[in-house]
Structure 1
């Protein structure tokens, strides 16, 4: 019997996943509500698939993913998250996740995703896979931005002016201005107005 570990801090989500998986096949379903419980269960039981929420309290979900893979590089982890931002999806896959499912996807997709991963595949919904392909191969890729550039872009999208961003991040106005110039070059945008519009339109909330 294949073992699936659900890692989520909401018991109602765990219960829902259990019900779905019980309809989809013969699985032993384990659960953890914290990163520490997940690490312990992975060490003890070595589940075939880990379904991991990114919104765990304390340690961030991507860091949990990294640590799981450090402990066992063969661990097959699927992210199960409220967030569908493609940058977050891309980062999770680059970190080593073998699948990504949002909590807004159709419930039966959980069963399909687990089956695909048990068969050795990688699972993304068709819509997400298409959008990710555009992001990865189109001009102006956000994943090319540095962590500082991402911070500045996020604050621009929230309506802050350059001086306020400098104060918020504890850096100089000149550094913020230079960072914006670098982002415009990377994203092939003409001016700061286009950069702000880009941040708002992308709902940039990382």
Structure 2
């Protein structure tokens, strides 16, 4: 089994390598950036990619999409510092077959690896529970991002000011400002700067 570890922290990759090395017939490659990861995907065609979302340069979700475009058979398991459902949902929509936070135990990581390599899916239990609750709530609460919300986030991620976004969308400044307030409430963040960060990390920008 060929495994690609994608994380910009060498100490994390070393720990994962030691943990996975006990598995039979395993070949492990490492990448510290999206560019390195894509080159290794093309060269080694890994069966499993363990992917961190916080990478320099190319964002984790965009990298996930590109990996699956290059190698659709790859099974991508996200291992992220983020335990929020927003990140998990974004990764699963982008094509990941599993999601774990870095708070997960070594035993749980190995279970997740075995599950996804065997053709299944794996989501850390607490995150899966919150995703299920949010899905149930969404059936009677309008707390999902609309196409307009996503477009505003994309423009924010591109560095556009609210006045420029209003011009681009053909609406008033006040309409865009109110929309930003609503988006922040939906995503549980307090500042516009947080929306910019989320837009980049979610791959919206």
TM-score (norm 1): 0.75
Measured in 2, the distance between the counterparts of 1:114 and 1:40 equals: 22
**Alpha carbons of 1:73 and 1:29: their partners in 2 closer, same or farther (altered >3 Å)?**
same
Measured in 1, the distance between the counterparts of 2:119 and 2:187 equals: 40
In structure 1, the residue matched to 2:51 is 52
CA shift at 1:196, angstroms?
Answer: 8.8
**Alpha carbons of 1:198 and 1:21: their partners in 2 closer, same or farther (altered >3 Å)?**
closer
Q: Is the 8 A contact 1:54 1:80 kept in 2?
A: yes
Larger radius of gyration: 1
Measured in 2, the distance between the counterparts of 1:132 and 1:196 equals: 14
TM-score (norm 2): 0.75
Q: Is the 8 A contact 2:144 2:186 kept in 1?
A: no
Task: For CA contacts below 8 A with separation 6 or more, give which structure has more relative contact order.
Answer: 2
Measured in 1, the distance between the counterparts of 2:122 and 2:32 equals: 23
Q: Is the 8 A contact 2:101 2:124 kept in 1?
A: no
Which structure 2 residue ranges, 5 or more long, are not aligned? 155-160, 167-171, 199-205
In structure 2, the residue matched to 1:144 is 145
Measured in 2, the distance between the counterparts of 1:141 and 1:31 equals: 42
**Alpha carbons of 1:112 and 1:170: their partners in 2 closer, same or farther (altered >3 Å)?**
same
Length, aligned pairs only: 180
Alignment of 1:83-98 (within 5 A): 83-98=82-97
CA shift at 1:23, angstroms?
Answer: 3.3
